[in-house]
Structure formats: structure tokens, C-alpha cells
Structure 1
Amino acid sequence: MAMISQAFFLAIIFFILVQLQASPSPAIQALVAPITKDTKTGLHTLSISNKNYLLDLSGQLLWSPCSPSHPTVPCSSGECAAASGAHKSCNNGGRACTARPTNPVTGERAVGDLTLADIVANATDGKTLTSEVTVRGVVSSCAPGSLLRSLPAMAAGDAGLGRGGVSLPTQLYSKLSLKRQFAVCLPSTAAAPGVAFFGGGPYNLMPPTLFDASTVLSYTDLARSPTNPSAYSIKLRGIAMNQEAVHLPPGALSRGGGVTLDTAAPYTVLRRDVYRPFVAAFAKATARITRMPSVAPFELCFNSSALGFTRVGYAVAPIDLVTSGGRNWTVFGSNSLAQVAGDTACLAFVDGGRAARSAVTVGAFQMENNFLLFDEAASRLGFSGTLFFIRTTCGNFNFARN
């Protein structure tokens, strides 16, 4: 009887183990990662695999310095074919695929082997962390250590989130069967991390109460930039100051690269034919506020003690980016004026000169504490405007694990 009971017990254990192995892993809804602001450069880093990478909205792939023993990617592989947008080529007699990683701050390029890396991130239900996930075989590029020049000191490389076959979001969608969208919410200080989501919502922030940030978004179509195909671009009908149109040259906002979003630019850059009337309009709207000397790279500066303060920053003229869909992305004082000294705040828009790549390059400062959803499946951008209006910030995601 004892032997029969033991055999029966072992059979039950075997059955349970077989069932556990056969049970499918729960589907991953989204991945989540913290975003940190580097106060020295004004740029932001994304934390994956316990490393920080420059958050690069226009970047074509993930790159960092490699170990000498890194694996290479054959020229004949599908991974090499997918990297066509990353200026890939084949060296070593046609056996190893290489790419040309780019430093988006300096514009410097290098040549590096394409390689495969396993990255570790956290899954989320949109409210908190649910499990740790290892994503295997992510295509990335090696790069010399010199390519890190001018990036935040903590950056181990560049996390390219742009459009392309081997950008980080594209690979995560494919490998984890995620919904083809990602969201970024940039923090305005280093005190608390912002958040990036890859995949479907909800995207909950606190306080005062837990709410899904996607429910407060307005949308406009994403466009393609002819000068930067990996960038996310939108179309603007115009720019308004205090609800009055800024008089721009005809077609100025659609010429060249149009309007792009670029987290590698710390502040919004305007091509000169857009910049000059824009600054003139802001100067007119703030004519009664005491001026201060210019502080590079800014031209128009104010005595901040003479400025009123509101829930959404300094009480200055709101700036409306009038999108092609008719919705306004409104920039209030918290995103239009940068505090550069104890008594000085400056209009945080930069003159890009006549040869600027885009008419408007929306920079990181103007995106801070705005929730942005890049819905690649529907080719649209969702934008919240400042979260200060609903008494929260990008630093209010709960990164504690269940």
C-alpha cells in the first residue's frame, strides 16, 4: 500500500508540473521605465537594464560602448535587413553588419558593429510594477566611448525611440506583441523620476487620485519629416500669443522639416523666420514686465520678481501651437520661461538661424510635465498640455512593486 501511495503521489506531482509548464505566461500589457532629468544638460535619460540611456525621440536604435567579446550580426540576417534606416553596411568581407550610431547632441557619427543584447525592464498594469521582464536579442549598435561626449554624465548610451525597423519601441512591439504605441512624461526636476510606457494603457498617475492620463489627451496626426525620417513630426496651422495669431511668413511652418519633437534639444528651436516674429509677439505681450540682460542661449529675459505666479507657472501670455486637427497645444509659464538665475527668467525658445533643420523643433523643456502618447498604429500624437492644471506631475507614477 505504501508503494502504491508513493507512486500515486509522484504521479500527482508530475501532472501538476506538466500543467504549470503548459500554462501560457500571462500576456504583457506594457513595459514601464523611469525617466530622470539631468539638470546640467537639461536632457533626460531612460533607465533600462539598470543603466541610463539618453532618451532620444528621433534616434534610430539603441547604442552604447560594447565589450570586446560582443556578438555580431551577420549581413545575411533579418536583423541586418531591418536596420536599413540606421545607415547599416557590411564589413569584414561581408560577414558582419555594422551601423552608424549618431550622437544627437553633437551630430557626431561613428561606425559600430550591430550586436544583440538582452534588456531587463518592468511590466506594468498601468498602476504599478507587476513583474520583471527580460527581452532577449534586442538589436543594438556598438559605439566608441568618445560618442558619449556632451550627453548626461550618467548616460551609458542612447535609447533611440524614433521611427525605424530597429528602434527600441519597434522591437518591443514585435518581441512582446505589445500595442504599437508608447508614452513619455518628462520630469522637470531630478527629485522624482518621470515615466515612459511601451504598449497599451491605462497610464495611471497620482495624486490627488489615481487617474488614467490617456483620458485627458487631445490628438493630432503624426506626419513625416522630409529632412529627418526617423523623427516624429506634426503639422501646425499657426502659433498664437494671448489668443492672437503670430504673423509668420506664408508657409513658414511647413517648409523644410516642418515641426518635429526632439528630446535631444533641451529647449525649443525656431528657424529664424519663425523666431523673429514669435519673440516680437511675446515681447509685445509682456511689454510692462521689467527686462533683464539676455542670458545665452536666450534673448528675452525678465526680472522674475516682477512676474506673478500661478498654478501653471509664471503669469505670462500663453502660447498656442495650433495643430492641423484644430486642437491647441497650449504652453503656459511653467514651460515657456526658464529660471536662469535667482532674479532672472528667460523665454526658453532658441534662435536656430536660417538653416535650422525644422521650422520648429519642440524641445524637452516644453514637453516637461506634459503627457505625450505616440500612437504609431493610428499615426497620431496625444498631448495633455501641462499636468499642473490637474494637480499632478510626471513624477507621480507609482514605481513600487505589487
Structure 2
Amino acid sequence: MASINLIFFLFFLVLTTSASPNPILPKSGFISAVKDPSSLQYVAKLSLGDGTAVNLVVDLNSPHVLIHGGGGVPVGSSSLECAMAESVRTNPNSKACSVRTRNPISNIPMSGELHEGKVAFEMWDGVSLTNNNSNNGLAKIDPFLFVKSQMTSNGAKGVLGLGQSRISLMSQIFVAFGFLKMRFSLCLSSISQGGIFLGGSPNFVSKFSSKIKHTPFDYSEDFGGYYVRVNSIKIFDKKMDLQLGDDEPFIAARFSTIAPYTVGPFGTCFVKGGEDGFPAVDLVLQSEMVVWRMDGRDLLVPVGDDVVCLGVVNGGFSRRGFITVGGFQLEDRVLEFDLGNSILGFSDSIGGKTCNDFGFGFDLSEKFSESFVV
């Protein structure tokens, strides 16, 4: 009887120790983004998966990842990948896959060849990041499709586009990592370093989730990318007369990480202290309960030691029916783009903190022991 019990115990021990627990999957991919003080653009560092990295300008609306150099191999014009990229034939004798795109800085159309390489980025488990000092434990996508371009800007060598296409960054991440959601989140810092969460949201959102508002969004190249519908604008809780016609039932508010402000040049300025009591501007979206509020911090831009200027401009009689919400107005908020449901989640603030306060881009102690390679 004792021998039978011993055999049963050994069998139970082997069974319990050999059974692997369910793996804890990451909540999202992560790429840090730093504000460049000279250009006021946001620059992300993307690992190319071979120990090298490239700085790319973050463009919320570009449907492609553009890389100057970047290695990789050309994609043939008759390939499935080229068909997915909706290529154009600029030279009938060329076997290269040419993709029509746009320089977001100059807004000039251009084309570049589609290449196939690999990229790597950190993963976020809801608490910490993988080690950003090496490629161990980084998520890798191989092959990864990008457009090879000659574009450079203030040391950045290309564009990290977060727009929509069949070969967009998010489309490729969703195909490669099916456990991630078809969404991405931004937390851009007004001071230094913020982050882009690919496939999920930062964990601190749950601390003030009741303050997150939601509204439908659309994506259209005609409107410059992502936009929401503004039904009315209020100042001092008074509705402005938007003079909308039957053919224009709403104003589109589009978002841009390229345009620092909705101005150029500044027209109305104050000596610091003279802006006290400056009214908030409310963009009323799908209902009176869903409002994007821009207070004095969002509207007044410091241009010197003692001067601030209004960061919006009168569109005049040439108004084209949309408002640009620039990077200055996007900073230190959480924006979550749910691509599967076309819903934007946004916060008015993040509890009095800046996105830099959360330590994005730094080694936060816990590491993943396994690389997620596709």
C-alpha cells in the first residue's frame, strides 16, 4: 500500500511541475517619444531589430512608416505585399514597388520604394517595460514593410506614421501579435519624454478612467487624417455662431502631432499675468456631455520670459470647415484610438501630472524572459 501511495505521489509531482502555467501576455507594445525643443515635433526611436535604431518624426496621420536608409530588401512590383500597399507605376520598366506618400513636414507629395526589413520594440505588461538597452526580450516583426524615403528632419530620418492603411504600423502589429487589440494610445509630454502604446493603453489610465470621455472618430485623407465632429463651440459657456449651412452640418476637428499649434504667426499676446481669467474654449462633440476643453494652459503659448501668445487663430472668411488641434493641445492627455470601433477616448488631464512623470522609456525593473518574435 505504501508503494502505491509513493507511486501516486511521484506521478502527481511530475504532473504538477511539468505543466506550464498560462503565459502572461503583454498588454501593448511601447515606443518612447521625446519632444524636440527646436522643431517642437515628437521624435520616436525605433529599433531596426539588428542592434541599430533610427529616430523618426511621429505623425499621427501618415499611413506609412518612412525610413531614410533602414536597410531591408526591395519588394517586387508583382508581389502581394506591393498590391496591399496600393502602389503606383512610376516607371513601367522598373520591378520596384513604388508607393505614393507625403512628406508631413512640407506637405509635399512624394513616392518611395517599398522595402521589407524588421523592427523591434519594447513590450508593456501593465506594470513595467522590457529592457530598452538591448534586443533581449524585445518584440520583433520580421518581415516588416516600410517605405524607403529620402526625408530627414532635424536629425530624424523618416516618419513613424500612426495612420490607417493595409501596411500601416498598427495593421502589421495586429497581424503579428493577435493577442493585442486594434488600438493605440498616446501620452505626449510637454516637458520631455512621453510614450506611444501599440495595442493597448497605459495602466495608469484606470486610476482616472471615470474621467475618460469617448466619442466616434473618422479617418480621411481629405481631412488630413483622424478627426472628430464638432457640433458647437462654447466660450464662457456661450455658444458661438458657427454659421453652418445645410451642406456643412458640423465642423471637423482634426488632430496633428506635426503642427505644434493652430497658429502661424502669433497674433494676440500678453505680458505674463495679464492672461489671468482667460476663458476656456469647449469643443462640444457628439453631445453636451462630451466636451474637449482647452483651458489657458492649452491656449496660451510661452514665447519668451515674460510673454505668452494665443495659440489659436481666426480662420476668417476662408475657413475650410475644420479645426486643427495641434501637438501643444494634445500634450499631457491620454488619447486612445480604438481602430476596431472607431472610438476616441481622451482625458482632460492626467491627474495634474505630465506624461513625463510616468518614466516612459526607462528600465522599470521587471523584464520579460522571452522574446516575442514573428
Fold match by TM threshold 0.5:
yes
Q: Tell me which interval the TM-score lies in, with the shorter structure as reference length.
A: 0.7 to 0.9
Please show how residues 3-402 of structure 1 align to structure 2 within 5 Å.
Answer: 27-49=25-47, 50-66=53-69, 70-84=72-86, 88-89=88-89, 91=91, 93=93, 95-130=95-130, 131-144=137-150, 147-148=151-152, 151=153, 153-177=154-178, 178-190=180-192, 193-201=193-201, 203-205=202-204, 212=207, 214=209, 216-225=211-220, 227-228=222-223, 231-251=225-245, 254=248, 258-268=252-262, 297-308=265-276, 315-326=277-288, 327-351=290-314, 359-387=322-350, 390-398=351-359, 399-401=362-364, 402=366
Give the distance between the partners of 2:69 and 2:319, measured in 1 at CA. 33
C-alpha distance in structure 1 between counterparts of 2:291 and 2:143, whole Å? 41
Instruction: Give, in whole Å, the separation in 2 of the partners of 1:375 and 1:343.
Output: 41
**Alignment partner, residue 283 of structure 1:** none
Question: Alpha-carbon deviation of 1:27?
Answer: 3.6
The Cα of 1:362 is off from its aligned counterpart by: 1.2
Greater displacement, 165-174 / 213-222: 213-222
SS in 1 for 2:175: helix
Q: Which residue of 2 aligns with 1:273?
A: none
- Is the contact between residue 253 and residue 259 of structure 1 (CA under 8 Å) also seen in structure 2? no
Residues in 2 aligned to 1:264 and 1:98: alpha-carbon distance in whole angstroms: 25
Secondary structure of 1:268's counterpart equals: coil
Alignment-derived partner of residue 5 in structure 2 = none
- Structure 1 pair 254–261 and aligned structure 2 pair: CA distance change class (3 A): farther
Aligned length: 334
CA contact (8 A) 1:46 1:52 kept: yes
- TM-score calculated relative to the size of structure 2: 0.80
Report the TM-score, using the length of structure 1 for normalisation: 0.75
Query: Residue 222 of structure 2: SS of its match in structure 1?
Result: coil
Distance in 2 (alpha carbons) for counterparts of 1:338 and 1:159: 26
- Structure 1 residues 374 and 113: CA distance shift in structure 2, 3 A: same
Distance (Å, rounded) in 2 between the aligned partners of 1:89 and 1:163: 22
CA contact (8 A) 1:183 1:373 kept: yes
Q: Please report the RMSD computed on the Cα atoms of aligned residues, expressed in angstroms.
A: 2.9
Distance in 2 (CA, whole Å) between partners of 1:39 and 1:255 is 38
Contact 1:181–1:373 under 8 Å retained in 2: yes
| CA–CA separation in structure 2 for the residues paired with 1:75 and 1:254 | 41
CA displacement at 1:297 relative to structure 2: 1.0
In 2, Cα distance between the equivalents of 1:81 and 1:222? 27
Structure 1 stretches lacking a partner, 5+ long: 1-18, 270-295, 309-314
How many Å apart are 1:109 and its aligned residue?
3.0
Aligned 8 A contact 2:218 2:227 in 1 = yes
Q: Is the 8 A contact 1:220 1:325 kept in 2?
A: no
Partners of 1:225 and 1:258 within 8 A in 2: no
Q: Using the alignment, how far apart are the partners of 1:71 and 1:137 within structure 2?
A: 10
Structure 2 contact 226–254 (Cα < 8 Å) conserved? yes
Partner residue of 1:278?
none
CA distance in 1 between partners of 2:99 and 2:318 (Å): 27
In the alignment, residue 154 of structure 1 is paired with which amino acid?
G
Residue 100 of structure 1: CA displacement? 2.6
How far apart are the structure 2 equivalents of 1:134 and 1:141?
18
User: Contact 2:62–2:162 at 8 Å: present in 1 too?
Assistant: yes
After superposition, the Cα gap between the structure-2 partners of 1:129 and 1:252, relative to the gap in structure 1 and judged at 3 Å, is: farther
Question: Would the alpha carbon gap of residues 107 and 352 (structure 1) be closer, same or farther in structure 2, given more than 3 Å must change?
Answer: farther
Q: Deviations over 1:28-80 (max 9, x none)?
A: 4310111111111221112221322111011010012226x641112232221
1:206-235 CA deviation, whole Å, 9 max, x = no partner?
xxxx9556553100001243614x711110
Tell me the distance in 2 between the aligned counterparts of 1:125 and 1:57: 24
Q: The residue matched to 2:198 in structure 1 has which SS? A: strand
* 1:286-331 Cα distance to aligned partner (Å, 9 max, x none): xxxxxxxxxx6111111113344xxxxxx42111010024300111
